[in-house]
Each structure stands twice: as structure tokens, then as C-alpha cells.
Amino acid sequence: MADPASYRPQTGEIPTTPGVYRFRDPHGRVIYVGKAKNLRSRLNSYFANPAGLLPKTYAMVHAASSVEWTMVGSELESLQLEYTWIKEFKPRFNVVFRDDKTYPYLAVSMGEKLPRVQVMRGERRKGTRYFGPYTAGAIRETMDTLLRVFPVRSCSPGVLKRAQASGRPCLLGYIDKCSAPCVGRVTAEEHRAIAEDFCSFMGGEAKRFITRLEKDMGAAVAELDYERAARLRDDIVALRKVFERNAVVLSEDTDADVFALHEDDLEASVQVFHVRGGRVRGQRGWVVEKVEDATSPELIEHLLQQVYGEDSDNQGRIPREILVPEIPSNHHELLEWLGGLRGAKVDIRVPQRGDKAALMSTVRENAEQALKLHKVRRAGDITVRSQALQELQEALELPVPLLRIECYDISHVQGTNVVASMVVVEDGLPKKADYRKFSITGAAATDDTAAMHDVLTRRFRHYLQDKSAQLPKSGEVPNPGAGEPPSDDAALTGAKAKFAYPPNLVVVDGGQPQVNAAARALAELGIDDVYVVGLAKRLEEVWLPDSDFPVILPRTSQGLYLLQRIRDEAHRFAITFHRQKRGKAMTVSALDGVPGLGEAKRKALVAHFGSLKKIKAATALELTAAKGIGPALAEAVVNHLAAAGASGEAAPAVNMTTGEILEI
């Protein structure tokens, strides 16, 4: 690994003008391409303090052995040159948006003498019109439906030659899904007109053709030609089926591409909906690695560069309007560049309200779901799980395999309703039956480290007790079976005590203070065979007990992905429990705490007297008139309300969320 100081250029040698720079490795290969408004300022940021760089950038500057730059006249020129070099050199440290597969398009080869409709993938060809992209199933169904109305040739060149030589059309010609220009049923000009109509329909002019067919059907009925009318009726149904497959989302004159992002610290999911003629004509998706500390505007800039710069045949493919979640970097230069590719003005903007904003929300939801699905599929791969566990064991230098991992998280709002969660992963998969919830009160609720110490002490005290007894203790809560895991660290009864099985690794959500608190709890209990680490959110650093420096896992490490998934699951579980507890605490009542007065009898009192004020004014004898209230209970209510009033606690019942006065 090279030392960046060995190839750092002198500050005075670097120009202050806009330009594009390239980092090369010892073999001369370009490993990173970037652009800058000020080359000197940008390049100095790589060398001023390499230790302070993000892991991927740190790896890049140490993998390189030289840097070179090219000055350009403007930021627009730097944008174009950067994109050209990224496509040419394919540097491994640049953000590259790659399709997860090749999407099919419905293509019409208008450049041929007899145009042909076909499903095409890959690079675009000159003289061919493309519609889509589509999913594989939808495109076949669309093509089959439209050929009965627009019988354009769809056969291969070999089939066409054989039909011309034999004078007999292929099967599609016999079933009227091809106009058979090969045998002269229609002329080449008539066949081209049919292909033009096909393209016009796919381009958004569906209503014109449906209206024309409806008029022809009406004329056929008037002439009593019911057989022709029936055929036209079927054609109309077929066109409407294709026309209605894509929901109308915007006005019919809207041509736009709608982009949305959903990202975490390591990856970003991108979705784009292609809207043509006000309808969603296609959808594409990517999941990309965030290989450097790129902001959302920078990601969007790279995305637009690579989506619209794939080939030179952009006219008609770039829409008038591009809707994005945030204005990209170099906005004005991008507009000029895309306008030059399209040959007309292009507008890039963020929708704020109305149908376009609603569609943007839908696209964003698709991006979020795509990222979740990507993570779930990766977690479900046994090979990836094994790799993650092995990488984690090696990175932490642990002597035992990580068969069971437990993760703990603390959740509260400004120190109130403090709770904790424990989630369990065995063999890389969550084991929800072993999840636990903890309520934290007293001195342990003062701060996160005290809460973490309390939780670990309680959990492993159960472990030591179950280990020695292996029998249920009196007063323990039995296993509820299905549903949510038991709360407040209740141990399970039965032959197999859950807390008797210790983890190999404890993960806490937090940095060095939380890790040290957890390690101290284990040490106080005399447990020395359970290892503790913490995962800090800001830079995803892994902290070990009493360590001055964190362990930095590669951002593409499967071990880091595993730790993140466990931490996020613990956070979700803790937040859910905290919200439940906070919701219960938000509703208080002056009748709370009366011995023997349950919810049903409180409601009976309120129903009988109508308000809490009248209940307070009633005597014990008058309270017995309410259903279920006996003399002893009525006396208890009177005494409780009197004591509360004397202590200044006789406030009405209030829902703390809405401020509504409650009467129970």
C-alpha cells in the first residue's frame, strides 16, 4: 500500500482552475476520476490528513501511486470530461450505477424496408424506435395483444426470406397477426403505415385509434355487417387492455422521468418511473454501493450522467422534464449538457405538490422496498451469512465461532420511559423467540451507560441462575407462546431455560462508554467467556472494551452489514416497546390507584355521574348507586380523592398527546 505523501504534488503546482483529475495505481490503471471547481483545493483535501478520510477514500489514496489532472474552461466541460473518462476507464472507486439486469424494450425497426416489431435488450440501434422498458412478462403480452390490431411483421429475417421464396406466409399471417407483406397482401408502403400507427399508439396516441375503431364499429352495425363489427369490438377491447395497463398518473401531455433515492450509510437504492403521455411506461431500479462520502445531490448528478449518457442516440429518450428528490450538483451545467443531448430544453426540478409529488412519493416507496428486499435476500443467503460471521470473527480476532450474537439498545425520550431491547441472532438469522424487552427505572435510568450496565447485569444474572438450577424459579412468568416476546426480562419456564444459553458476542448500540459499561457488568458477574463490542452510528465504527481506537471494517464487509442489521433490529424492537410504554403513560386519571377500582368500574362511575367533578362532589352513599360500586369501594374512592386533593394531585384525567380531558 503506497504512502500518499510519496506522490503528493506540490501545492504550487496544482492550478486553481476547474478541471478533472485521475488517480492511478502502480500499474498505471485509473482507479478514480473526479472533477473540481478548484483543482488545488480539491486535491489538497486528499493529502492534508489522510487518516481523517472515510474508509473508502482512505483506501483509494493508499491504493494510488500518482495523480494527474487536466484543466478545462468551465464546469460544464469538467462534467462532460469526467463522464467520458468514467465510461472509458471504469475506475473501481467511482460510483457506478449498474442495472441489476438488462431490461427488455419493445422495438420497431423503422430503418428496414419492412419494419419489424420485436423485443430487444442491450445496446440501441440506429433507425429503431424503442418503447419501455418493461418487465419480461408484460412486454410479451403487450406485443401479442397489439399485433391483432396493428399486424406488423414480427418474424426473423430467415422466416421472411423463406416466406418470400415459397409464396406462403408464416403462421402469424394465417391467424391475422401479420399483414403478410412478404407475399404481397399489403404493399411495403401500406405495411410501413401500419408500423407508424403502432408507434403512434405506443407513443401515447391511444385515444385517437380507439375513437376511430369505435366509429368504424358503429358504421359496420349501421350496414348490418355484424361480423366486421364484432372483429372491431374485439380490437377495441384489445387496445383498451393495453391502454389501461398503465394507470394515468399525470396529464396526457406529460413526458417525464421520475427518480427517487433511499439510502443508508453503505448503499443507495434508486428507482425511476418513465412517464410518457401521462402514463407510467416503464420502471427501472438499481442498488448501488456508496463508495465514498457522496451526498444525495452528488449521487443524483452521477445517476443522471450515467442514465442519459449511455449512448449517443438520446433524442426522444430524454424527456422534457426530469423530476428528482433533490436538485443535483452542477445543476445548470447538467441542464445545458442534457439539453444538448436531447436537442431541446430539459427541465430538472423537485416536485413540491400535486400529482407529480404524489408520484414521487410512490417511486420513493419503491426505492425503500427495493433496498429492504436487497438486504433480506443478502441476509438469507447461507454463503453470505457464513462469510459475514467469518469476517466478523477474524476482524475482531475472536477465538470462538459466532454461533449466537445478542444485541442491546436503549430507547427513551429525554430520560423518560427508559426501556431496552435484546435481539438474538443464531447462525446469522434472527431468533425472535429469544427476543426480550426490559423496563428500566430508578438510578439505572439516569443515562445510557447506567441503563446498559443494568440491562446486562439483569440478563446475565438470569443466565447464571438458570445455568446452576436449570429449573423454573417461583414467581417467574411462563412462556406466552405466540405473539410478542415476554417483557421485563421474564425468564421462560420449562425444561429448556432460554437464559441458560449465553451468546458468544454481545453487541451494544453505542460507542466506547456503552461498551465499557457492558464489559463492566460482565466482569462484576465473573463472566469472561462472552465478548463485547459496540457499533457507533456516526461512522459505523466497532469499539472494543478499554480500546483507544475503534476497529474500522471495510464498508463492503459482510461482517459490517451483519452488525448493522442486528443493530437496526434491536433499535426497531426497542422503539416499538418504548412507544407502547409511552402511550400508556400519556393517559392519567385522578381515579388511578384506588384499590379494587378497575377499568370497568371506573367507566361505570363516569357513566353514572357524567363527570369527574360530580364524582368528587358525591358522598360514599351516593357512589354506591353506580353499578358494581359497593360501600367499601365507595369509601375507598372518597378517601383516595380526598387524599389526592390534599396533596395537590387532584388534576383531571388528561390525554397528554391530544390535551383532551378524560373522565376515567
Both 278 and 292 in one domain: the answer is yes
How far is it, in rounded angstroms, from Cα 388 to Cα 394? Answer: 10
pLDDT along the chain (664 residues), means of 10: 83 83 89 88 86 82 88 69 76 65 73 87 77 62 79 88 88 86 88 87 75 86 86 81 58 81 80 78 74 75 82 65 90 88 88 84 81 69 73 82 86 75 83 84 76 87 76 45 44 47 85 87 86 81 82 79 84 81 63 76 83 83 85 85 61 39 38
558 and 622 in a single domain? The answer is: no
Residue 388 lies in a domain: no
Contact residues for 638 (Cβ-Cβ < 8 A; gap 6+): 619, 620, 623
Q: Give the chain's domain count.
A: 6
Q: Note the pLDDT of residue 322.
A: 92
β-pair type (321-323, 256-263):
parallel
Beta strands in 440-556 (DSSP E): 505-509, 531-535, 542-543
Q: Please indicate, yes or no, whether residues 501 and 399 belong to a single structural domain of this protein.
A: yes
Looking at residue 583, its pLDDT comes to 65
Per-residue confidence (pLDDT) for residue 120, from 0 to 100: 81
Last residue of a domain, one of 530, 558, 584: 584
Give the H/E segment covering residue 56.
helix 55-63
Q: Strand, helix or coil at 596?
A: coil
Whether the bond between 26 and the residue before it is cis, its omega within 30 degrees of 0, is no
Last residue in a domain, options 173, 203, 233: 203
Q: CATH code at 295?
A: 3.30.420
- Tell me whether strands 279-289 and 267-276 are parallel, antiparallel or unpaired: antiparallel
Q: Are residues 174 and 273 in the same domain?
A: no
Residue 617 within a domain: yes
Kindly state whether residue 139 falls inside one of the protein's structural domains.
yes
Cβ neighbours, 10 Å, residue 571: 18
In a domain, 431, yes or no: yes
Tell which residue, 177, 137, 135, has the closest CA to residue 154: 177
**pLDDT reported for residue 23:** 93
pLDDT computed for residue 664 by the predictor = 38
Contact indicator for 407, 546 with CB cutoff of 8 Å: no
433 and 320 in a common domain = no
Are residues 540 and 435 both part of a single domain?
A: yes
Domain harbouring 45, CATH code: 3.40.1440.10
Which set of grid coordinates corresponds to residue 80?
462532460
Q: What is the pTM of this model?
A: 0.43
Residue 250 forms part of a structural domain: no
Burial (Cβ within 10 Å: 0-12, 13-18, ≥19) of residue 648 = exposed
Q: Where are the beta strands (DSSP E) in 354-484?
A: 404-413, 416-426, 429-430, 436-439
Cell of 444: 439505572
Instruction: Please enumerate in sequence order all residues whose Cβ is within 8 A of that of 132, keeping only pairs 6 or more positions apart, or say none.
Output: 103, 104, 105, 106, 139, 274, 281, 282
Among 347, 375, 403, identify where a domain stops: 375
Do 572 and 630 lie in one domain? The reply is no
Looking at the domain assignment, is residue 565 inside a domain? yes
Q: Does any domain span residue 122?
A: yes
Does 317 share its domain with 353? Answer: yes
- Same domain? For 571 and 467 the reply is yes
Residue 456 lies in a domain: yes
Q: Within this chain, do residues 428 and 440 fall inside the same structural domain, yes or no?
A: yes
If asked whether residues 323 and 467 sit together in one domain, one would say no
- Domain containing 360: what range? 256-375
Based on the fold, state whether residues 262 and 345 are members of the same structural domain: yes
Q: What is the pLDDT of residue 646?
A: 56
